[in-house]
Amino acid sequence: MLGPDRVGVRQSLVALGFSSLTAVVAGGFLAAMTGTLERYPGLLVLVPAAIGMRGNIFGALGSRLATSIHAGTFRMSRRPETLVMQNVFASGLLSLITAVALAVLTKILSPIFGLESVVSIADLLVLSTVGALLSYVVLIAVTLALAARSAERGWDLDDVNAPLVSAVGDVVTLPALLVASLLLEIAFIPKLFAAVLILLSAASLWWGRRTTLMVMRQVLHESMPILLTTGILLVIAGVVIEHELSAFVANRAMLILVPACLATAGAIGGILSGRLSSKFHLGLIEPTVIPGRLARRDLIAGLAFALPVLILNGLLAQTTSLIFGFQSPGMMSLLWMSTIGGLIATMIAGGIGYYGTALAVRAGVDPDTYGMPLVTSSVDLGGAAALVLTIGWMGLS
C-alpha cells in the first residue's frame, strides 16, 4: 500500500523516529539558549539557515553515494582521486564557502525583510563559518560511516540518509553555533577571524575551480549556484522565525518545534528526492508532468510517514517542556501546530521533491546534487512560514 517494500518502510520510519527524537533534543537546546538569541540579534536567523545548509550539502552527498552504491561503483578509499574522497573535499569547500555566503546574505536580507537589528558582519561571519566547520567534522564522518554500513549490510541509503543526516545536523549545528558565539566575547577575535575566513574561502573557491580532480570540480560547479540560491530561501526562513522571537521566548515549548517540524518535512522530502533520483539514474521512471506509477507510490509513502511522526513531535515537545520547566501553550496547541505546519511543509516537500528532481534530469544535471537542496530549502521556508502562520491562527503571536 505504501509503495516501497516493507524493509524500506521500516528503515524510513525508524530513521524518521530517530530524527524526531534528536530534533526535539536540538529544539530543547534552542529553547534553553533564548538569552543568547536575544543578546545576538540575527543568530536565530542563522539557525534554520545553518541547519538547512548542512542538510543540503550532506543530504546531496549521501544521495550521490547512494546512487554509486546502487550502480556498484562505491568504494571506500583515502586516495584523493577516488569518488569518495573527491566528494569529501567538495563537501568541505562547500561548507566553508556557503557559510560565508549565509553570513553576507543575513546582513543584506534582514533589513530588506524588516529585521533592522542584526549583529555586525564580522560577528555573523564568525558565527556562521565556525559553526559550519565544526559541524562538517562530525557530519562527514557520520555520512561516510552510514554509506559504508549501507553498502556492507545491503541497506538502501536513500531510505535512511536524509533523516539520519538531518538528525545529526540538528544536534551538532546548534552547539556549534553556541561555541562560535563564545568567540564573540573576545574583543579582537571577530574582525581577525572574519578577514581570515574571507581570504580562506576565496582561496578555496579559486583552488576548487582549477583542480584536476574532475568529480570534485563537477560537484562544486553544479552545487554552488543551487546552494547560493537556496541560501536566500534559508535566510528568509530564519528572518520569518526571528520576527516571532518574542512569542517563542514567552512559550519556549514552541521553539522546540522549530527544528522538529522542519527536520521531519525535510527528511521526508529528502527520502523522496533520493529515491526518485536513484530511479531516474537507473531509468526506472521518466521525468513526466504527471508522476508515473512508481513515483506516485513514493509520494504516497512520504505523506503516510508524515502524520504519525508529526504527532510524535508535538508529544515530545510537550514532554520536553514539562521536564525542563519551559512555558507551554498546552499539549493540544503543540499538536495542532506540529501537525498543521508539518503537513503543509511535507506537501511542499513532495511537490518539489518530484518536480525539482525531474527538472534536474531534463536539464541534464545531476539530480542528486540539485534535488536535495531544492527540497530542504523550500521546506525550511515553507515550514517556517506555515509554523508562524499556525501560531498566528491560534492567537499565540
pLDDT tens by residue, 138-149: 999 988 888 888
Question: Domain containing 129: what range?
Answer: 6-393
Give the whole-angstrom CA distance, residue 295 versus residue 112.
Answer: 39
Q: Nine-digit cell at 178?
A: 553556541
DSSP notation for 302-360: HHHHHHHHHHHHHHHHHHHHHHHT---S-HHHHHHHHHHHHHHHHHHHHHHHHHHHHHH
pLDDT tens by residue, 344-388: 877 777 777 778 777 777 777 766 666 667 776 777 777 778 888
Residue 186 DSSP class: S
pLDDT band at 55 (very low <50, low <70, confident <90, very high): confident
Give the whole-angstrom CA distance, residue 391 versus residue 385.
Answer: 10
Helix 121-153 × helix 83-112 angle, to 10°: 140
In a domain, 182, yes or no: yes
Tally of domains within the chain = 1
Cα 227 to the center of its chain, rounded Å? 12
In a domain, 266, yes or no: yes
Give the whole-angstrom CA distance, residue 6 versus residue 10.
Answer: 6
* % of the chain beyond a pLDDT of 70: 92
In a domain, 1, yes or no: no
Helices (H), 212-251: 214-242, 245-250
pLDDT tens by residue, 15-54: 777 777 887 888 888 888 888 888 888 888 888 888 878 8
Report the pLDDT value the prediction gives residue 371, as an integer from 0 to 100: 63
In a domain, 237, yes or no: yes
Q: What is the CA radius of gyration of the chain?
A: 20
The residues, any chain, with a CB within 8 Å of residue 58's CB and separated by 6 or more, are 91, 139, 140, 143, 165, 169
In a domain, 381, yes or no: yes
pLDDT band at 296 (very low <50, low <70, confident <90, very high): confident
